[in-house]
């Protein structure tokens, strides 16, 4: 018999509609799974059992009356602890955040989920202020990979990825400023989408500026499409939000890939060393797209590694985050964060504007690229999950997390939609992800290709060992 914790959001809503089980039953099962896995994985900062049961009870009554409140009424959802969720503090992974206060406001994406009847099961872990590509820090400790708890979950939305992977709710809200939904999703074997910048409203504005996106982290692409139909609702607090979406992401995801022009770049033209098992799994996913009627050819985008421009923008944002802290408070920070903040504080306005110039040129190049190709497909990461508790793999020679994430941060610079689909396991049983990138505003095309992979079985991998 299928466990309720194994069901997708789409399946849960269908079951509620048919009366096969209730939101209260599903939520209780999810809370049990969250509690059981917390000691080994540490996906949550807080599990909100009492609040979730009350919300699920109200949802159960609405479904009993045949009056669901919205598209995800009764679906258990978790929220990364960078996003406001009323009723408790948003600590942002930092001991420097004061928990006192009213905390009576939801972030836009959280507000839209609440309006649609979602059940909030808890807040998921993040590294301090979401600054790096793994999830560990002084406030919440280490978040581990459900496939191997000696390995990292990735980050910075590592708690969200781990929660979805173990069955502690099929939907989670994450943020992505350089790969932060895609990195942990690839490491933990789930789906994630970084939407076009502004497609999902954000408030408060990120100190990392227009690099930071909010996106769904889910069991599969169909669940992400459902979630996008909810969280893309407008919010006047975000001055940079995009206009209304034409049509439904759920409908758009069903279009298939026949006739799409797909560029497959296995290594960005030899710029990235990709592990053989990763490369082989990604190639099989690309072959699945071709078998389904996509026109696929190997082609590389026309740019060299923009990491220095990204560092200028990212580290400057980090310095801005901690600018108000006293010397005593700064001593509480993650040592790696202190290092990048010090570097960020040394950049001049001219350095920052030069990085913006690089960013604009990269956007122009990718705009031209997508006049030829509908999609760019790459590995999400060149490696699989490494040892937990470190920023970079030991012996890699990398100094910062950007050294092992060369496929993700370029598309934060360009603000393009990018998703990751699990496409296999490596020799150690660790998930591999394939990244799908489209032109700005073409989020639905990413979801179409991702859904096609799931429908063809390419997105199906063995479940994790924990949970």
pLDDT one-digit tens code per residue, 34-52: 999 999 999 999 999 999 9
Do the beta carbons of residue 181 and residue 227 sit within 8 Å?
Answer: no
Q: What is the pLDDT of residue 460?
A: 79
**Enclosing H/E stretch for 281:** helix 276-291
Question: Do the bridges between strand 375-379 and strand 261-264 make them parallel or antiparallel, or are there none, so unpaired?
Answer: parallel
Percentage of the chain lying above the pLDDT 70 cut: 100
**Enclosing H/E stretch for 193:** strand 191-194
> Scanning the structure block, which residue is given the tokens 């069901």?
7
Lookup: tokens for 240: 């940079």
Question: Which of 418, 372, 360 has the alpha carbon at shortest distance from 178?
Answer: 418
Q: What is the pLDDT of residue 458?
A: 84
Helix axes 221-231, 108-115, angle to 10 degrees: 100
**Average pLDDT for the chain:** 97
Please list, in sequence order, all residues whose beta carbon lies within 8 angstroms of the beta carbon of residue 171, skipping any fewer than 6 positions away: 9, 72, 75, 76, 77, 78, 118, 164, 216, 217, 218, 223, 227
Lookup: tokens for 10: 């789409």
In terms of DSSP H, where are the helices of 19-103?
23-41, 49-65
**419: Cα within 13 Å, side-chain hemisphere:** 35
Q: Under CATH, which architecture does the 4-455 domain have?
A: Alpha-Beta Complex (3.90)
Q: How far apart are CA 288 and CA 208, in angstroms?
A: 37
Helix (H, G, I), strand (E, B) or coil at 214: strand
- pTM of the predicted structure, to 2 decimals: 0.98
pLDDT in tens, 340-394: 999 999 999 999 999 999 999 999 999 999 999 999 999 999 999 999 999 999 9
80 is catalytic: yes
> Scanning the structure block, which residue is given the tokens 């692409």?
221
Residue 409 has pLDDT above 70, yes or no: yes
Please list, in sequence order, all residues whose beta carbon lies within 8 angstroms of the beta carbon of residue 50, skipping any fewer than 6 positions away: none
DSSP tally for the chain: helices H, then strands E: 15, 15
**150: Cα within 13 Å, side-chain hemisphere:** 3
Which of these is catalytic: 22, 59, 80, 153? Answer: 80
Q: Where are the domains of the chain?
A: 4-455
Q: What is the pLDDT of residue 1?
A: 58
Which of these is catalytic: 153, 156, 172, 265? Answer: 156
pLDDT in tens, 240-256: 999 999 899 999 999 89
Q: How far apart are CA 385 and CA 44, in angstroms?
A: 19
pLDDT in tens, 79-137: 999 999 999 999 999 999 999 988 999 999 999 999 999 999 999 999 999 999 999 99
From residue 156, give the alpha-carbon distance in Å to each of 77, 144, 263, 281. Answer: 18, 12, 28, 24
pLDDT in tens, 256-299: 999 999 999 999 999 999 999 999 999 999 999 999 999 999 99
95 is catalytic: no
- CA 85-172-140 angle, to 5 degrees, is 65
From residue 456, give the alpha-carbon distance in Å to each of 73, 223, 312, 451. Answer: 29, 16, 41, 9
Q: What is the pLDDT of residue 467?
A: 67
pLDDT in tens, 304-353: 999 999 999 999 999 999 999 999 999 999 999 999 999 999 999 999 99
Please list, in sequence order, all residues whose beta carbon lies within 8 angstroms of the beta carbon of residue 236, skipping any fewer than 6 positions away: none
156 is catalytic: yes
Predicted confidence band at 465 (pLDDT cuts at 50, 70, 90)? confident
Question: Do the bridges between strand 295-298 and strand 261-264 make them parallel or antiparallel, or are there none, so unpaired?
Answer: parallel
Q: How far apart are CA 161 and CA 180, in angstroms?
A: 10
Which of these is catalytic: 109, 180, 265, 288? Answer: 180
Helix (H, G, I), strand (E, B) or coil at 47: strand
């Amino acid at each position: 018999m299928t466990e309720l914790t194994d069901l997708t959001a789409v399946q849960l809503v269908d079951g509620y509609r048919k009366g096969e089980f209730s939101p209260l039953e599903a939520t209780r099962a999810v809370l049990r799974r969250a509690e059981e896995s917390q000691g080994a994985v540490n996906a949550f900062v807080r599990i909100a059992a009492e609040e979730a049961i009350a919300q699920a009870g109200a949802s159960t009554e609405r479904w009993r009356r045949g009056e669901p409140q919205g598209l995800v009424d009764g679906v258990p959802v978790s929220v990364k602890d960078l996003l406001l969720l009323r009723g408790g503090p948003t600590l942002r992974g930092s001991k420097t955040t004061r928990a006192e206060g009213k905390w009576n406001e939801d972030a836009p994406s959280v507000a839209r989920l609440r309006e649609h009847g979602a059940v909030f099961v808890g807040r998921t872990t993040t590294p301090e202020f979401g600054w790096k590509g793994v999830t560990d820090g002084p406030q919440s400790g280490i978040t581990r990979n459900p496939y191997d708890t000696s390995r990292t979950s990735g980050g910075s939305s590592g708690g969200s990825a781990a929660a979805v992977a173990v069955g502690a709710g099929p939907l989670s809200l994450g943020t992505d400023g350089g790969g932060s939904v895609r990195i942990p999703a690839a490491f933990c074997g789930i789906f994630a989408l970084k939407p076009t910048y502004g497609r999902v409203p954000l408030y408060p504005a990120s100190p990392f500026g227009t690099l930071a996106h909010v996106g769904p982290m889910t069991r599969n692409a169909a669940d992400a499409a459902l979630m996008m139909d909810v969280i893309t609702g407008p919010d006047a607090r975000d001055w940079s939000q995009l206009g209304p979406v034409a049509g439904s992401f759920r409908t758009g995801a069903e279009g298939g890939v026949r006739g799409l022009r797909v560029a497959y770049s296995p290594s960005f033209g030899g710029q990235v060393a990709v592990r053989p098992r990763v490369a082989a799994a990604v190639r099989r996913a690309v072959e699945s797209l071709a078998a389904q009627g996509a026109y696929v050819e190997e082609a590389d985008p026309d740019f060299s590694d923009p990491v220095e421009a990204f560092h200028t923008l990212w580290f400057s944002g980090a310095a801005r985050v901690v600018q108000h802290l006293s010397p005593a408070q700064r001593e509480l920070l993650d040592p790696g964060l202190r290092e990048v903040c010090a570097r960020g504080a040394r950049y001049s306005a001219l350095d920052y504007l030069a990085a913006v110039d690089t960013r604009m040129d990269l956007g122009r190049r990718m705009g031209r690229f997508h006049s030829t190709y509908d999609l760019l497909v790459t590995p999400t990461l060149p490696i699989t999950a490494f040892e937990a508790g470190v920023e970079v793999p030991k012996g890699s020679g990398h100094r910062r997390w950007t050294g092992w994430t060369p496929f993700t941060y370029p598309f934060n610079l360009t603000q393009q939609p990018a998703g990751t689909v699990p496409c296999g396991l490596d020799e150690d049983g660790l998930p591999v992800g394939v990244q799908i990138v489209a032109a700005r505003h073409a989020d639905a095309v990413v979801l179409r290709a991702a859904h096609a992979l799931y429908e063809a079985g390419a997105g199906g991998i063995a479940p994790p060992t924990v949970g």
